A = this chain, B = another copy of it.
Amino acid sequence: MAGYHVPPLERLVDALESLPGIGHKTAQRLAYHILGLSSEEAAKFASAVTEAHESIHYCSVCCNLTDGDLCPICRDESRDRSVICVVEDPRDVFAFERTNEYHGLYHVLHGAISPLSGIGPDQLRIRELLLRVRDGSVSEVIMATNPTVEGEATAMYLSRLLKPIGVKVTRLAYGIPVGGDLEYADEVTLTRAIEGRQEL
């Protein structure tokens, strides 16, 4: 901006612009909003960032995000400890929890195998999963990685590691999404929906 520089404002805009999906205009709008907050609100905002960053780490069992040693799900005595649902991302755990239908445990890989992005099995939390399964109390591992090439490859890779341990490995069902319109379903999804058809 020719002739007009307010360094603290620029630093705030830059910080906001570094967030994913936030462009320069949006960052400016958010920065002006933050400037309009009361001092307490601004301090609360800043401390929410530092506090979350400092106190949140991976659960020592399932690698989900938590502020304690174990995450609330691993701590919960009422959950079925014989089933582990393997997901790529902590947000997937939230998605399953919203269904209120799954009562087993989770394991968060923090990504999927993707040679193109340079992500190999070593960068994922696979060692921790194998340790849990080898312990013997697990009877089923549900592969709930994303229905993408990377998610598929990861599920196949894991199932080949897990089956020899003598555990049942399953995969989420593919098919048409509930409430969707058949007309807009892609060919691959429709093919999978036909292949996986069930008797009524």
Q: Does A193 contact B (CB under 8 A)?
A: no
Contact B15 A93 (CB under 8 A): no
Check B73–A3 contact: CB distance below 8 A. Answer: yes
How many copies the complex holds: the figure is 2
Q: A20-B29, A30-B19, A30-B20 are known contacts. Are A6 and B65 too (CB-CB below 8 A)?
A: yes
Q: Is the CB of B8 within 8 A of A20?
A: no
- A76 partner, pick from B3, B31, B91, beta carbons under 8 A: B3
Q: Classify chain A's interface size.
A: 35 or more
Which of B6, B15, B19, B51 contacts A8, CB < 8 Å? B51
Shortest Cβ distance from residue A101 to the other chain B in the assembled complex, whole angstroms: 10
Docked Cα-Cα span, A33 to B91, in Å, equals 12
Which of B14, B32, B52 lies in contact with A48, CB distance below 8 A? B14
Q: Which of B45, B67, B94 contacts A15 (CB 8 A)?
A: B45
Digitize A8-19: 1 where CB-to-B-CB distance is under 8 Å, 0 elsewhere.
110110110011
**Complexed CA–CA distance, A45 and B32 (Å):** 16
New A-B pairs, 12, CB < 8 Å, besides A6-B67, A6-B71, A29-B91? A4-B72, A8-B48, A8-B51, A8-B52, A8-B67, A20-B33, A22-B30, A28-B94, A35-B53, A37-B53, A46-B47, A49-B49
